[in-house]
Amino acid sequence: MSIAWRLQPGNREGLIVVSGRMACQLASKPVLYAGPGDSVLVKASVPYKFWNDGAAILLVKGFITPPDNYFCFLPEI
């Protein structure tokens, strides 16, 4: 399975794991792993990808700044 890279020019994005285990990779960095209560902040214009790294359902909350630029998420929903 291939996970597509995401790139959001002008936006900082954050992901907070509610349940499950998330794997996240930023640009050319090693893979990071996050569990419930952990968060990942992605700076503007940094390519990244994330995926479920466990057998349980992964539930995350996400946020972006600036808040008036949310339309970048609509194709993903």
Domains of the chain: 12-76 (2.60.120.10)
pTM of the model: 0.79
Give the mean pLDDT of 48-72: 84
User: And the tokens for 40?
Assistant: 């990942």
C-alpha to C-alpha distance for 37 and 65, rounded to whole angstroms = 20
More confident: 75 or 19: 19
Which of 1, 63, 51, 60 has its CA nearest to residue 25?
51
Phi, psi of 30 (to 5 degrees): -65, 160
- Given a cut of 90, is residue 53 above it in pLDDT? yes
Written as one string, the DSSP assignment of 6-52 is B--TT-EEEEEEEES-EEEEETTSPPEEE-TT-EEEE-TT--EEEEE
What does the chain come to in residues? 77
What are the tens digits of pLDDT across the range 17-32? 999 999 999 988 999 9
